[in-house]
Chain A
């Protein structure tokens, strides 16, 4: 299932940080590579890929900690996208 939102988000993060070994439940902030540039890229990636606009109140760290929580956010913003 390479096309689930979770997988697409993981692919994006891995593409930017090939040396990092991460899975969908790993806290990417705890791994220490999120700077404001990457945070911006991540938000843009999620908005563009899934066709959603993330409102300010959803821009909370807990929504972006892991690929799973980001996928869950996508699911809430765009219920038509299956969250797997």
Chain B
């Protein structure tokens, strides 16, 4: 594997993101997948391109990027490598939450490091016994002196093997609060989880917190009834990023399949001339566009501060993730045995796409939420 040495140009829009991904990510993504990690070299390139948290304000080292553009950038990253996109997703969730809910002191402490990628963030909600059912988490934060004492175990933490700052959701009596926990706080233990089905290079971990003493400034956002809003907002942004990454997977499936079908010959003709194959390709084209529009609409509503962005994001993520899983399966089909081999990227896309249907609200939870809203709005 050749490591790139040229310093990347700043990523400011879809075009520059596409160029970055084509140069620094696409040629190596299968290696990352096989090695089970995104290398430090690439993490540095991402930092040099200003990609970690470009939506943060300029004063903090961000670029004040709007969320429509951020969605486009995450789509491009997802087209190249879902593991890197996953790392970007959880980092985005942490950085956005600090910006949205942090006190001036918290923002000053963390934003510059998060913008520069000097501190990488990870999101800790799921536990061995609680995934979709977030109300079932058992990690607790109890008041301790003027701060907090954290106890519990988090599982499936994307980037957990590498992250410097964990955003941990824990019970505080009747509600759930968000806590900023530095990796090296005494009592934090990180156990790598390797060999996942998909996003294999995203460095998952199980993290245990044993009597971790935190200062009063560890709590992010309000406590009490609105503490749940911190989680809702964090997940909303994560869902937006996963929706974007899923659009990227559909696009990658399309590009790989169209190229393959143009060259592979059956019965003396290119595969691309077979009506059954054309049907698959046309569905990829259509779904990629439809998913991209749903994503852009969710982003537009976010930039406008419209509350309807939350449902728009659920819908975009539901549509894009199911489309990704469907088309990744068809992309493997179009490639035949080659699609099952390590010589083409579609096997990786297929495995990564399945993960999109589970993370940030599984398909079932998305359907329940979307239908619940439809029911509320139409029943009188």
Q: Does A3 contact B (CB under 8 A)?
A: no
Q: Is the beta-carbon distance between B376 and A17 smaller than 8 angstroms? A: yes
> Size range of the interface on B?
20 to 34
Residues of A within 8 A of B225 (CB): 29, 39, 60-61, 64
Q: Does B305 contact A (CB under 8 A)?
A: yes
- Provide the bound-state CA to CA distance between A64 and B228, in Å: 14
Q: Does A30 contact B (CB under 8 A)?
A: no
Residues of B within 8 A of A42 (CB): 307
Q: Is the beta-carbon distance between B379 and A60 smaller than 8 angstroms? A: no
- Provide the bound-state CA to CA distance between A59 and B225, in Å: 8
Contact count A vs B, C-beta below 8 Å: 67
Q: Is the beta-carbon distance between A44 and B228 smaller than 8 angstroms? A: no
| Residue among A15, A18, A43, A44 making CB contact with B226, cutoff 8 Å | A43
> Size range of the interface on A?
20 to 34
Question: A36-64, CB under 8 A of B: which get 1 and which 0?
Answer: 11011111110110000000110111001
Q: Is the beta-carbon distance between A36 and B231 smaller than 8 angstroms? A: yes
Q: Is the beta-carbon distance between A19 and B379 smaller than 8 angstroms? A: yes
The chain B residue sitting closest to A57, CB to CB, is B222
| Residue among A18, A40, A48, A57 making CB contact with B229, cutoff 8 Å | A40
Q: Does A76 contact B (CB under 8 A)?
A: no
A17-B376, A48-B306 known; A43-B221 Cβ under 8 A: no
| Residue among A36, A40, A61, A64 making CB contact with B307, cutoff 8 Å | A40
B positions within 8 Å CB-CB of A: 101, 103, 221-222, 224-226, 228-229, 231-233, 236, 304-310, 369, 376-380
A positions within 8 Å CB-CB of B: 15-19, 29, 35-37, 39-45, 47-48, 56-57, 59-61, 64
